[in-house]
């Protein structure tokens, strides 16, 4: 998908973001951890870390080594809905734990933020996730470019 967008549209290759929710959020984390040079901003909404926590931890460990050796700054926003705290998947707990580990990385390598959406669940968090995820990265977007955002954001969920 990314090569096609780069081929068909005039884009700034130094300002690219990816946003995903649930399994799409897991995909965002895996992309950050295994191919960190692909985007500059990563938004992982309610990432399904519980699907394979061991693999994510291994990928995170590799990324930690990478982040300490390069001088490019990446941005990550990780989110969870408050109402997911009691769910057996431990989604909120996994998200907080990941944030607490990643925040220890050098700030010049990874700027990480974590947001818990008060009173929101797994699905109801979507509107709140998309708005800050996009606004943080595309504040100077032209209206004609906006049509690309929604399809690309939701493709990450597939």
Catalytic, 58? Answer: no
Q: Out of 22, 48, 120, 137, pick the active-site residue.
A: 22
Catalytic, 22? Answer: yes
Q: Out of 48, 60, 120, 122, pick the active-site residue.
A: 122
> How does pLDDT run across 94-111, given as a tens digit for each residue?
999 999 999 999 888 899
CB atoms within 10 A of CB 142: 7
The pair of structure tokens assigned to 81 is 């809905």
> Comparing C-alpha atoms, which of 133, 48, 58, 136 is closest to residue 92?
48
Catalytic, 124? Answer: no
> How does pLDDT run across 43-75, given as a tens digit for each residue?
999 999 999 999 999 999 999 999 988 878 899
Which helix (H) or strand (E) segment holds residue 19: the answer is strand 17-21
Is 26 within 8 Å of 49 (Cβ atoms)? yes
- Which of 1-7's residues contact partners 24+ apart within 8 Å by CB, and which partners? 1/152, 1/155, 2/38, 5/148, 5/152
């Amino acid at each position: 998908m990314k090569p096609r967008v780069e081929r068909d549209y005039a884009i700034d290759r130094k300002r690219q973001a990816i946003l995903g929710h649930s399994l799409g959020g897991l995909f965002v984390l895996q992309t950050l951890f295994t191919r960190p040079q692909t985007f500059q901003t990563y938004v992982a909404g309610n990432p399904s870390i519980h699907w394979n926590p061991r693999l994510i931890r291994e990928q995170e460990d590799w990324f930690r080594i990478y982040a300490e050796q390069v001088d490019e700054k990446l941005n990550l926003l990780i989110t969870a809905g408050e109402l997911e705290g009691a769910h057996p998947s431990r989604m909120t707990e996994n998200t907080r734990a990941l944030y607490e580990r990643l925040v220890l990385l050098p700030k010049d390598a990874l700027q990480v933020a974590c947001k818990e959406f008060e009173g929101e669940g797994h699905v109801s968090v979507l509107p709140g996730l998309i708005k800050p995820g996009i606004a943080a990265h595309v504040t100077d977007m032209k209206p004609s470019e906006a049509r690309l955002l929604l399809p690309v954001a939701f493709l990450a969920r597939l």
